[in-house]
Amino acid sequence: MKKMEKKKRKLNKKKRYFRIFSRFFIFFSFIFLIIFALKNSNFFNVTSISIEGNKNVSAAKIKKVSGLHKGSKFFVVSKKDRVKKLKSVPYIEDAKISYNLKGRVTIRVKERVPYYQLDVNDYLLVDDNFRILENSDKKRDNLVNLSGFNVENPQAGNYILTNKEDREKRDLLLELRNDEYSLRGNIRDIELLDSISTFTTVDGIKIEFGSYSNIDYKLKMLSLILKDISTTNKNAILIQMEKGDSPILITDGETDSKSDQEENKKLKKEENKNKSYREINQD
């Protein structure tokens, strides 16, 4: 009796496992047939593609990179993979793809905007995240000119200032764009050497910024000095941020008589007492 019961239990187990296996087999076979049918039918076919937000990247290139064209299957490749491929294009920062049941696809891209340019054989156009967007043979007037360091691989899509030793330079560039200092749009040229940096404003004022230390303090002082220059219409030539205990502003005054010059020097001394920087009139 016991042997018979054991055989029955084993047989019942086998039957149960077989039923479970059969159900899974039928289920996955059904799914496979559905996918096969959809893949080989006109369902989910792309009927049209519209591109939005592109300015520097052509619609033809966006379609090619996305892998979408009229008549192709939309779900053959995942949307995530298509977006990833689009973001590999240097100018494209982000992309969104939508599809409706009529087969209409819309690709919306957000393009990067050139902010810096470097004179490396051609002009490298770089966005504010330090990504190289393109190699241009024309210099642009509305971009910040960067110089003083080497670019290891000046190809579109790569990034500049990626090494550890470039961290201070990157931090300085980021702080220069900080709205707290109101310097964004006021700096035309930036030279970043290994130990010191130099700027030139859009008005042609040279700024010897000095080392990469005390960046926050020096930028606050620079902002105040430039604001004072703008308010008082001083003919500023040079600002030295690390020449003594406080920054120095050098101006170029008009030629006066000796008595006027002595009087102006006295006034300058009195003014300098109430300022956080020294002003020198270069005669």
Chain segment 15-49, per-residue pLDDT in tens: 666 667 667 667 766 676 555 655 555 567 899 99
Region 214-243: mean pLDDT is: 93
Chain segment 96-113, per-residue pLDDT in tens: 999 998 889 999 999 999
Residue 123: both structure tokens together = 């002009």
Residues 129, 226: Cα–Cα separation, whole Å: 26
Q: Name the nearest CA neighbour of 172 among 151, 153, 133, 198.
A: 198
Question: In this model, does residue 234 exceed pLDDT 60?
Answer: yes
Neighbours of 158 (CB within 10 A): 16
- Global pTM exceeds 0.95: no
Strands (E), 148-196: 187-192
| Residue with tokens 């330079």, as numbered in its chain | 169
> Average pLDDT, whole number, for the chain?
85
Contact yes or no for 222/198 (Cβ under 8 A):
no
